[in-house]
Structure 1
Amino acid sequence: MSRFLAAATQQFQKGLRFSRVLIHNTGQHLKAAKTPTANSRQAAPPPPKCPGAKRKPGTFASGGKHAVFNDCPMPEGDFMRAWHAKNTRYNIILITGALAAFGGWGMAISSGILGLNWSIPPYPYTEDEKEDFELEEERRREEREARQERHQDAVEARELAIRRRHAKEAMEREVELMQRDMDEGISDEELDELQRLAAEREAFEMWEKDEIKRLEDQQKDRELIRKEKAKVQAERDKERDRKRRERDAQLEKEEAEREKARKEARKEWEKAEKEAQKEKEKAEKEKAKLKKAQSG
């Protein structure tokens, strides 16, 4: 404990000595700052003079050294006349720009530089290709209709099979109840069930008869539709063959006309070549005669 007190006393004394040194040094610095030096005793430089003070009076319209509101420009003349003149100029510029824009646009469209594609472009396929596309579309439509018919037939056949199976099970139950009724008798609930099964059997027989008739009529209608489609298809094929023959005949005729024109052009060219050859031979003969006459 005594050691602790001694150490604390020493630390306190050290702190006092450090504070005294700090206060002493600070006082010396303050005294040094208050004492004027030789450099500080020199006079401070004069402040810079305003350059506006050198300007002569009468620079502005008011005659003063600085601008005032009286020096601002004042409007003079007729305001409406000036306004109409400006509007006239602006309207001329607007009309000229619009005419130049529309005129340039029209020239670009008429010259073909700018195409707006407002007309129907030529079909990119030939007649034969279009016929092939139509045939392919018809084939796909027929396949889709056949697929739908097969799906419908499968659904109807499944429904018929399910109802027949239920009717068969009901028939077995009805036979069982009838056999028990003949052997030992049945209760009222079983009698009601037997009557219900008999009514359901009769209803199913009527429905089955109507359903079979409907399916037969549907099959007949489909056969009739197929025959009609085959007939229409045959007529369409016949019409296509006729058009194809006409088109082939037209192409052959055009080719014959072009061949005839080529032959005529060839004859004309040969005739012109012969005439040119004759003219050349005639010119050579005249030149030879002239040379012979000059030499003689």
Structure 2
Amino acid sequence: MSRFFTASKERLQRGLRFGQMLIHNTVSHQMAAKTPPAPPKAAKATPPPPTSSKPPPKCPGGDKDMKRKPGFFASGGQHAVFSDCPKPEGDFMKAWSAKNGRYNLVLISGALAAGGTLGYALSSGILCLNWTIPEYPYNEDEMEDFEIEEERRREEKEAREERHQDAVEARELSMRRRRAKEAMEREVDLMQRDMDGGITDAELDELQHLAAEREAFQLWEKDELKRLEEQEKEREKIRKEKAKVKAERDKEREKKRKEKEAQLEKEEAEREKAREKARKEREKAQKEKEKEKEKADKEAEKARKAG
């Protein structure tokens, strides 16, 4: 790089020298060719000096017919070429591998440091991401209330599902009954026409098909009503069992509540007894202090009289 700058500086100085020569010759010629300023009106005009007949100097290399050497300016300066630029030396892959190895080492060490810092912060509890619900110190009564509330919600959900199932079954039963009623009307019509004047073979087949469907519907309706009755009995049995469990639970809870109240009353009575005992002891100590004070006063009075 320094060689390139040195060569460029030398060529620039050489070009400047030629440029100074050109500027000097051109300026002197222009100064000689200039006309003097006009004299004042009052003074007599003097004749201008004669112009020089000497032709102005030409710029070096300004002649178009002159042949130039490749790589040289018209003034004689030399062009900068790629040979003047700095050239890489040594093995590129070796240098690149060394640099890349250092960069990878810095990257891996930074990643390990960041991961270790995050792990330490999470394990030590300094950084809390609130992934789980924190535990709350509920007592037994509150936990029991939560269980009762959860059971109540579960019972409400089961009741909603039962009502939905009953509505679906009732709608299906009503639809099939309506279709059976329409089929019955059609069957009665065909039977009446058969009794009056006869019916075709297609209508006879339809009549037989309607009769078979009516019998099948009667059997299905009988089984469905029986199933609904058994289902209602089963539900009633489950409700009674739940009511029994609830009554036992309420009874047990009431028993615990009474025991807790009795325990609290007992503890309060013991505390009241301890407070009463402490009060009596304080009163007794106060009376003893008063007696000692009276005794000391009497002795002091007796000593004063004796003295």
TM range (shorter): 0.5 to 0.7
Instruction: Tell me the alpha carbon deviations over residues 41-83 of structure 1, each in whole angstroms, 9 at most, x when there is no partner.
Output: xxxxxxxxxxxxxxxxxxxxxxxxxxxxxxxxxxxxxxxxxxx
Distance 1:285 1:121, change over 3 A: farther
Deviation of 1:30 (Å): 5.9
Instruction: Tell me the alpha carbon deviations over residues 255-287 of structure 1, each in whole angstroms, 9 at most, x when there is no partner.
Output: 111111111111111111122222222333333
Give TM-score scaled by structure 2 length.
Answer: 0.53
Structure 2: any 5+ residue segments left out of the alignment?
A: 1-22, 32-119, 125-133
Of 96, 119, 122, the match for 2:137? 122
Could you say which residue in structure 2 is the equivalent of 1:174?
A: 187
State the aligned residue count: 185
1:236 maps to a residue whose letter is: R
Match of 1:141, SS?
helix
1:154 and 2:133 aligned: no
Could you say which residue in structure 2 is the equivalent of 1:228?
A: 241
Q: Which has the higher contact order (CA 8 A, sep 6+)?
A: 2
Could you say which residue in structure 1 is the equivalent of 2:267?
A: 254
Deviation of 1:32 (Å): 7.7
Deviation of 1:216 (Å): 0.8
Partner Cα distance (1:141, 1:247) in 2: 29
1:140 and 2:138 aligned: no
Distance 1:30 1:157, change over 3 A: farther
Deviation of 1:120 (Å): 6.1
Structure 1: any 5+ residue segments left out of the alignment?
A: 1-24, 34-100, 106-118
Partner Cα distance (1:32, 1:201) in 2: 133
Match of 1:186, SS?
coil
Partner Cα distance (1:122, 1:145) in 2: 31
Greater share of helix residues, 1 or 2? 1
Give TM-score scaled by structure 1 length.
Answer: 0.55
1:280 and 2:278 aligned: no
Deviation of 1:130 (Å): 5.0
1:264 maps to a residue whose letter is: K
Could you say which residue in structure 1 is the equivalent of 2:27?
A: 29
Of 213, 216, 219, the match for 2:229? 216
Partner Cα distance (1:150, 1:290) in 2: 102
Deviation of 1:231 (Å): 1.6
Distance 1:208 1:258, change over 3 A: same
Partner Cα distance (2:275, 2:172) in 1: 75
Partner Cα distance (1:122, 1:270) in 2: 43
Deviation of 1:247 (Å): 1.0
1:200 and 2:198 aligned: no
Instruction: Tell me the alpha carbon deviations over residues 225-260 of structure 1, each in whole angstroms, 9 at most, x when there is no partner.
Output: 122222222222211121111111111111111111
Partner Cα distance (1:262, 1:233) in 2: 42
Partner Cα distance (2:185, 2:201) in 1: 19
Partner Cα distance (2:135, 2:288) in 1: 51
2:155 maps to a residue whose letter is: E
Match of 1:194, SS?
helix
Match of 1:185, SS?
coil
2:278 maps to a residue whose letter is: A
Partner Cα distance (2:29, 2:299) in 1: 138
Could you say which residue in structure 1 is the equivalent of 2:196?
A: 183
Partner Cα distance (2:200, 2:24) in 1: 129
1:165 and 2:163 aligned: no
Partner Cα distance (1:237, 1:122) in 2: 24
Instruction: Tell me the alpha carbon deviations over residues 1-36 of structure 1, each in whole angstroms, 9 at most, x when there is no partner.
Output: xxxxxxxxxxxxxxxxxxxxxxxx997526589xxx
Match of 1:262, SS?
helix
1:238 and 2:236 aligned: no
Instruction: Tell me the alpha carbon deviations over residues 103-147 of structure 1, each in whole angstroms, 9 at most, x when there is no partner.
Output: xx9xxxxxxxxxxxxx96531x573x5555544444433333322
